[in-house]
Amino acid sequence: MSNDAEDPDLKEAIRLSLMESTSSATTPKSTNTNNDQIVVIDDSDDDDDDQKKRKPSNKTNTKEQSATPAAAVASTTSSSAAAEKPSAASSSILGLDRRGMERERLERLKRSAPLSSSSEGRPSKSQRSSGNTMGATAGSSSSNLFNTELPSRPISIPAIGSRNGPIFPNGIVKKTYIPGQARDPNPILEPTITIDEVLQKDSLEVAVLSSFQWHLDWLLPKLNVGNTYLVLVMQGKTEEDRKEKEEFFRQLPRTKVCFPPMPGQVSCMHSKLQLLFHNTHTRVAIPTANLVNFDWGEGGIMENMVFLIDLPVLRVGEEYVETQFSRELVAFCRAKGLPEGIFNKLKRTNFARTKNLAFVHSIGGSHMGTAARTTGYPLLANAVKEMGWSVGPGAELDFVTSSVGSLTREFLTNIYKACMGNDGLREKLGPTHIENDSEDEGVNQNVNWDDIADKFRLYFPTRNYVASSNGGLENGGTICARREWWNKPTFPKECVRECRSTRQGMLMHNKCIFWRPKVPFANTTGERWDAWAYVGSGNSSESAWGKLVMDRSTKQPKLNVRNWECGVVIPVKEKDRRLVERNGPSDMSVFQEHRFLYDLPNTNIKPVYIPVPMVYPSEVNNNPWFFGGFGG
């Protein structure tokens, strides 16, 4: 393992990063305590029209992204404290405390601890801003980016066997590792994973990293900066924001910043996709976590999930074979504007083992006519249809979310129908206007909320659960819902359930869907499946999945998408299929008992599972945790 302290490229990058401004001005404090100057600290990916209407006209009103859950809540406790902002003289594009940053890095270099051990700790209520975190929020400029870090406490992470090479050739879903937990030495059987184990930095040649939030002081030491070619996909709504970030990252060798287009209504680059290219394999990772320390379990407060698959490099003579997964992955990366070299590497990747997986995404913007089928929840529907997983009504749907948008029963009905394989365009245009429209009347059957209200469960924590969690109320800042949305008569309160982690005291930042049809379904090759799960970045909001409307001028359907998102759909089957057909949906245990695409003959390996992160079944949630800049 290379020593960062001896890496001249990294030392030079850090030196440039730590160069202080020539001005020695101190941070001024605003004396304006006007209560209308609300600083909205919101990890929510939702950008509801009502929120825009509420925004005060005062130009000093800003929207910032917190570095930690604790800081997010603390920043809303007083308008005077919220008005404080680092001056340009004492902070960079990232809002960094230069002196504190230099001290931290020098101390870390002196310690020379192996990077398999992480600095972790639980944030205290009296945290101070001293780390380096980039937060990306709708409309934020670089001057609004500020920083807070978790206090350091060395934690020894037990080894779980080899971390190099293609460990997960058939794909797997892991929970993020929490400090202090015992671990299985077999990396396939071990249910958790660290960010270091995901990255495999020692053999990492090229990395495409995407995130809504960034904690660079935590992340960069986990990479061989200067040796690994980095493409960082981040938010850049304004030209000023993009230029400032490009200027900063120009200091890092072999690093390029990519800004997905964010025209008009598009407000959030929320995708967390990672493409990790090694000499022997390409790892595709789809986390629910941002690239910040607390999302990856440090501090023992927040948990997430990540899907990983290690795909081999094509051998000489082998041809590239397209799957639904590879096609939509490439389409999504094209839309984001990744460098051409990334597509050359993807073309040299063998995607054969993704034949039973579906890649789904939301591309920010307006998509007109039949193009509305190519992203958002209509893409989910058409992926289900293409893979042969379409079913009629009667399925059970469990949706775990960390952010609740301004929901309506109509929107949740559209999500349910998409899971069936119905994209909704048939209702908008009529069957004669849709090419390759499904003949399956069950799939196209008109379903309304009354038909599915008792089959749709949305999991979100109660205020009491957040209060009793490891981090308490002050660390619930990235779990978002708004009281004013909840109180609308159109909000489907009847389907909301309390979200409690199976790991006691943990808050969840997961975004996953568990879909259990009434009867088994067969794919295009005749293989039978019992259920499927979605894992990705998409929360329960129209911003994440899109809103299908009729365009007034063209009279064509139009899908409006505010966020960039992506995820994977994974089919599962019963561990022991009975000779007698079942009479209803599988139990939730179907996700934890099946062999997750693994066929390991002549071994005693136990089944590998998709973790179901929440306690199930769960009680109705009548007292949800409210946070989003307007109260706790």
Annotated binding residues for substrate:
272, 511
Q: Which of 44, 93, 11 is nearest to 407 (CA)?
A: 44
Give the Cα separation of 495 and 457 in Å (integer): 5
Chain position carrying tokens 């970030």? 245
Distances (CA, A) of 218 to 134, 151, 264, 546, 619: 11, 12, 33, 33, 38
**Burial state string for 349-363 with b = 16 or more CB within 10 A and e = fewer than 16:** bbbebbbbbbbbbbb
H or E element in which residue 429 lies = helix 425-429
Which residues share a beta bridge with 209?
232, 274
Q: Which of 102, 93, 104, 176 is nearest to 133 (CA)?
A: 93
Based on the residue annotation, tell me whether 270 is a catalytic residue of this protein.
yes
Burial class (CB in 10 A: 0-12, 13-18, 19+), 564: buried
Q: Residues 6 or more apart from 506 whose CB is under 8 A from it?
A: 178, 300, 301, 302, 303, 469, 470
Based on the residue annotation, tell me whether 509 is a catalytic residue of this protein.
yes
**Which residue among the candidates 270, 281, 367, 594 is catalytic per the annotation?**
270
Say what angle helices 376-386 and 409-420 make with each other, to 10 degrees.
20
Task: Output Rg (C-alpha) for the chain, integer angstroms.
Answer: 24
Contact 484, 504 (CB under 8 A): no
Instruction: Determine the distance from the C-alpha atom of residue 46 to the mean position of all C-alpha atoms in its chain, rounded to a whole number.
Output: 13
Alpha helices in 437-550 (DSSP H): 441-444, 449-452, 463-468, 483-486, 542-545
Give the Cα separation of 398 and 171 in Å (integer): 22
- Residue 74 CA neighbour count, 13 Å, CB half: 18
Give the Cα separation of 372 and 545 in Å (integer): 11
What would the DSSP string read from start to end of 261-330?
A: ---TT--EE----EEEEESSEEEEEEESS-BSGGGGTTTSSEE-EEEEEEEEBPPTTPPP---HHHHHHH
**Which residue among the candidates 215, 281, 509, 594 is catalytic per the annotation?**
509
Give the Cα separation of 87 and 243 in Å (integer): 19
Give the Cα separation of 47 and 268 in Å (integer): 8
Q: Is the peptide bond before 489 cis (omega within 30 degrees of 0)?
A: no
List own/partner pairs for 190-193 with CB under 8 A and 24 or more apart: 190/160, 191/609, 191/611, 192/297, 193/306, 193/308
Give the Cα separation of 276 and 200 in Å (integer): 9
Burial class (CB in 10 A: 0-12, 13-18, 19+), 406: buried
Tell me the three state secondary structure of residue 402. Answer: coil
Question: Binding site residues, as ranges?
Answer: 272, 511
Tell me the three state secondary structure of residue 548. Answer: strand
User: Which residues belong to the active site?
Assistant: 270, 509
